[in-house]
Amino acid sequence: MATTGDKEARLFRAIARLREIMAQLRSPNGGCAWDLEQTFETIAPYTIEEAYEVADAIQRNAMPALREELGDLLFQVVFHARMAEEADAFDLTEVIEALNAKMTERHPHVFGNVEVRTAAAQTVAWETMKAQKRVAAGATSLLGDIPLALPALLRAEKLTKRAARIGFDWPTADQVLVKLDEELGELSAGRAAGDAENVAEELGDILFVVANLARKLNVNPEEALRQANAKFERRFKHMEGAMAGSAGKDWSLEEMEALWLAAKRAERA
């Protein structure tokens, strides 16, 4: 049976080997032409994609896939760290050291002498500490460090959550629903006027209010939409299966709607 020391030695060897592989891929002498051409900007979309693939494996409860996707995501970290090392900015060791220091600092109830907190109290303490860091870094806006690269729906939820810290928030979900009705009315007015630019703006406002509503209801909007996408896909495939035996038939919308409703009933049975 492997001891803790054996596992640590194996981990160190694996990380060291991964660094060697990445260095070789980026080497001008015998490296990979594609890897050599990449920059932070060109690799960033792959990093985001790999994070979503991790989330997908978790949602499917697919442990072998999760192991593989976590490896792909780790490779993205190593890739960025290698490019930074080549630019004399930082290296993988510094990335890990900075992370170790951050996690230790942000968990004084685990690594220090602070009294044990509940999960909710720890969340408040975490956010307070991050706010202090922003001030120390010279941040000029409460919203300044919310990444632009986040999915728009998730970023909208984070923007409203951050604004709520200074009381800029609707007190209840019911008031958000009133605002949603108001925005729907404005969308209808824009459509009636034939103003395409206004329609796009009002639709954006509606999505923003929906993200805010999700926050007030303690629902992750990105996860809720992901679940809705999965539900639509399941029901659509069920409908396709029912249609498969009638090749060449021109299905009407009403007939497809009936199959859709049958798919809903089948899921609930």
The domain segmentation of the chain, as residue ranges, is 4-106, 141-219, 223-268
- Comparison of pLDDT for 263 and 131, the residue scoring more: 263
Confidence at residue 127, expressed as pLDDT on a 0 to 100 scale: 73
Q: How confident is the model at residue 172 (pLDDT cuts 50, 70, 90)?
A: very high
Q: Do domains 4-106 and 141-219 have the same CATH topology?
A: yes
User: Is pLDDT at 134 greater than 80 in this prediction?
Assistant: no
User: Is pLDDT at 165 greater than 80 in this prediction?
Assistant: yes
Contacts of 157 (CB under 8 A, 6+ apart): 211, 212, 214, 215, 220, 221, 222
Q: Cα–Cα distance between 114 and 118 in angstroms, integer?
A: 12
Outline where 87-220 has alpha helix (H): 92-106, 108-111, 119-136, 152-163, 173-192, 196-216
> Tokens 């594609």 map to which residue?
34
Q: Per residue in 150-161, pLDDT tens?
A: 889 989 999 999
Tell me the CB-side half-sphere exposure of residue 255, using CA atoms within 13 A.
Answer: 8
Q: How confident is the model at residue 124 (pLDDT cuts 50, 70, 90)?
A: confident
Q: Per residue in 222-258, pLDDT tens?
A: 889 988 998 999 999 999 998 987 877 889 999 999 9
Confidence at residue 116, expressed as pLDDT on a 0 to 100 scale: 67
The CB density around residue 23, as the number of other CB atoms within 10 Å, is 14
pTM: 0.69
Q: Cα–Cα distance between 46 and 75 in angstroms, integer?
A: 10
The third-level CATH classification (topology) of the domain covering 141-219 is Helix Hairpins (1.10.287)
- CATH for 4-106 is 1.10.287.1080
Confidence at residue 107, expressed as pLDDT on a 0 to 100 scale: 86
Confidence at residue 36, expressed as pLDDT on a 0 to 100 scale: 97
- Comparison of pLDDT for 145 and 58, the residue scoring more: 58
Q: Per residue in 178-194, pLDDT tens?
A: 999 999 999 999 999 99
Confidence at residue 160, expressed as pLDDT on a 0 to 100 scale: 93
Backbone φ and ψ of 161, nearest 5°: -65, -40
